[in-house]
Each structure stands twice: as structure tokens, then as C-alpha cells.
């Protein structure tokens, strides 16, 4: 084997190694702060949900009205007995299509452990029934995102 062939083989092995191991060396931006992620089976379309957070214990989330109509403000209330929560962000993402950025921050109310805010579902001009991912991001001692599947009618 001459020097040129040896160099080619080493170069190919180096490229192969890079292709195989590079993804494990690159840290995903969504995991930079060790965000916990869960998909509760509870349906917000059927009323309030109480779910067990990995970081913050029992969390109660209610949305009214719960028929999730487009362009009608939704009043979102979150209750928790855990005082470690420092902020709550909610967001709506189209499950099967991009519908733009739609986020709102819940504000702490006068009651202990109660957060409240408004968010509005945008109109989908393609489907009469739209599937959404309704995310609730809790921050404090860590970050946890609870993702609910909901549907809306237009």
C-alpha cells in the first residue's frame, strides 16, 4: 500500500468517525437547561386537569371556555402548592402544521400558588378541526414542560 492509498483510507475512517460521533458531541439547545418533558394523558378539552409534575408535585390547570374556539380569549389558571415555581409560560403550537409563535406568560395572582393569564387560538383556514399542542412551561428549581393535546373548532 502506497502513501496516497494509506492517506485516503485514514481520511475516510476519520470522516466516518466524525459522522458517527458528531451528533453525540453536539448538545441539543432544548436540553441546555435540563428541561423535563412530559405528555399528560389528561384532556383539557374535557375540563380542568390535575397532573403530577416531576419537579413541582401536583399541578392543576384549567382553561375556560373549554370548547377552545378560535379567536376567543382563553382564561388559563394554574394552581400549585409548590412555592418553588418562579414563572409559568404557556404556548400553542399547531400539531400538524406551523401556526406561528403563540405564547403568553401567566402572572402570579394574589392567592398563593395561583397563576393566571390569557391566550388566544389563531384561526386555521385549512381545517375545521385543528389539533394543537398546549404547552405549560414551569420554571423555578428547574424547567419542566407539560404538553397537552387539544382540539379546536373553527
What pLDDT, on a 0 to 100 scale, did the predictor assign at position 23?
53
Residue 53 has pLDDT above 70, yes or no: yes
**Cα angle: 74, vertex 150, 40; to 5 degrees:** 110
What architecture does CATH give domain 33-153? Sandwich (2.60)
- Of 106, 99, 104, nearest to 61 by C-alpha is 106
- Pairing between strand 57-64 and 49-53? antiparallel
| pLDDT at residue 59 greater than cutoff 50 | yes
The C-alpha cell at 19 is 459522522
| CB contact at 8 A, 90 and 103 | yes
- Tell me the three cell numbers of residue 16: 466516518
Q: 122-147: per-residue pLDDT in tens?
A: 887 776 678 889 999 999 989 999 99
Report the alpha-carbon distance of residue 120 to residue 16 in Å, rounded.
48
Tell me the mean pLDDT in the region 59-76. 90
Amino acid at each position: 500500500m502506497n502513501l496516497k492509498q494509506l492517506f485516503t483510507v485514514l481520511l475516510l475512517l476519520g470522516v466516518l468517525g466524525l459522522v458517527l460521533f458528531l451528533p453525540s458531541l453536539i448538545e441539543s439547545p432544548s436540553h441546555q437547561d435540563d428541561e423535563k418533558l412530559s405528555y399528560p394523558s389528561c384532556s383539557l378539552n374535557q375540563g380542568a386537569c390535575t397532573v403530577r409534575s416531576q419537579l413541582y408535585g401536583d399541578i392543576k390547570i384549567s382553561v375556560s371556555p373549554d370548547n377552545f374556539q378560535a379567536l376567543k380569549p382563553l382564561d388559563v389558571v394554574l394552581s400549585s402548592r409548590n412555592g418553588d415555581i418562579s414563572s409559568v409560560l404557556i404556548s400553542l403550537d399547531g400539531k400538524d402544521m406551523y401556526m406561528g409563535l403563540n405564547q403568553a406568560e401567566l402572572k402570579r395572582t394574589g392567592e398563593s400558588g395561583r397563576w393566571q393569564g390569557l391566550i388566544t387560538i389563531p384561526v386555521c383556514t385549512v381545517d375545521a378541526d385543528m389539533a394543537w399542542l398546549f404547552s405549560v412551561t414551569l420554571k423555578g428549581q428547574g424547567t419542566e414542560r407539560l404538553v397537552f393535546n387539544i382540539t379546536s373548532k373553527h
